[in-house]
Amino acid sequence: MAKINVGEKMENFVFDTPYKRGMDLKTIVGGKKTGLLFSRYYGCSLCRYDMIQLKEQYDKITATGGQVVFVLQSDPDLLARNFTEKEYPFWVIADPEQKIYKALSIDPAASIKDAIDEKALKKIQAAKKLGLEHGEYEGNEDQLPAAFVIEPDLTVTYAHYAKTAGDIPDVDEPIKQLLFEREKGFVKKILPFCANLAAYSVMFLSVVRQNGRAACIG
């Protein structure tokens, strides 16, 4: 299938999470601006590193009124054995058969060698410093990541397909997208108020000037 572009609507995918079965995207989105981050699988130390980084900064995302969903090529039962339902403040989708990856054309690299870049190597070192080691292998070892931001109606407002394992926006990028949309909404709300305020200011100054002239004449 073709890659999805900004302005297009994402399919209402049905999937499992570690603790719920048969969920669909619209239910999880639940009326919120949502960031979707696609990674490899839970045993991948880079993927767990990204999940930890996201967890540590998640309050920035909730402050925007948005949320993030993390997608892995992992079995839901394996995920349930590795972390509790409250371990992460965001939804984790299990896609062991890579159905969503394939539907969105989130392709793997030609080889693991082609997937590794300088940024990925730095993240591997950062993961090691946290004591993260490679766990159970699942899914496609050469899988590349991707990131999207969607509206409550599933319209895509941001899309990024990685070219290497490290070519993925930092956690801050979806946050920036969510914040930008919130600020646009704020501007839309505040502009009419500012226009009215400006009109009232002009009227007030006009009255003051007229009263000032009257006082001088008197």
All structural domains of the chain, each given as residue ranges with its CATH number in brackets, are: 14-177 (3.40.30.10)
Answer yes or no: pTM beyond 0.75: yes
The whole-number pLDDT of residue 213 equals 42
| Residues 96, 49: Cα–Cα separation, whole Å | 20
- For residue 37, the cross-strand partners are 70, 147
Query: What average pLDDT does range 142-156 have in this prediction?
Result: 94
Q: Comparing 94-108, 115-129, 154-168, 191-205, which segment has the lowest mean pLDDT?
A: 191-205
Mean pLDDT of the chain: 81
pLDDT at 7 over 60: yes
Reply yes or no on whether the pLDDT at 214 is more than 50: no
What are the beta bridge partners of residue 156? Answer: 150
Residue 166 confidence (pLDDT): 80
pLDDT tens for each residue of 124-145: 888 889 999 888 999 898 999 9
User: How many other CB atoms sit within 10 Å of the CB of residue 82?
Assistant: 15
Which residues, other chains included, contact 28 with Cβ-Cβ below 8 Å and sequence gap of 6+? 34, 69, 91, 93
Output the pLDDT for position 146: 94
Q: Burial letters for 134-162: b for 16+ Cβ neighbours within 10 Å, e otherwise?
A: ebeebbeebbbbbbbbbbeebebebbbbb
**CA-CA-CA-CA dihedral for 207, 212, 214, 218, to nearest 10:** 160
Q: What is the DSSP string of 107-151?
A: PBPSSHHHH--HHHHHHHHHHHHTT-------S-TTBPPEEEEE-
Q: What's the mean pLDDT in 54-64?
A: 88
How does residue 171 score in pLDDT terms, banded at 50, 70 and 90?
A: low
pLDDT of residue 211: 46
Note the pLDDT of residue 202: 38
Average pLDDT over residues 69-74: 97
What is the pLDDT confidence band of residue 120, given thresholds at 50, 70 and 90?
confident
- pLDDT above 70: residue 194: no
pLDDT surpassing 60 at residue 191: no
- Choice among 80-94, 161-175, 197-211 with the minimum mean pLDDT: 197-211
Question: If pLDDT is split at 50, 70 and 90, which confidence band does 181 have?
Answer: low
Residues composing the chain = 218
Res 157 pLDDT > 80: yes
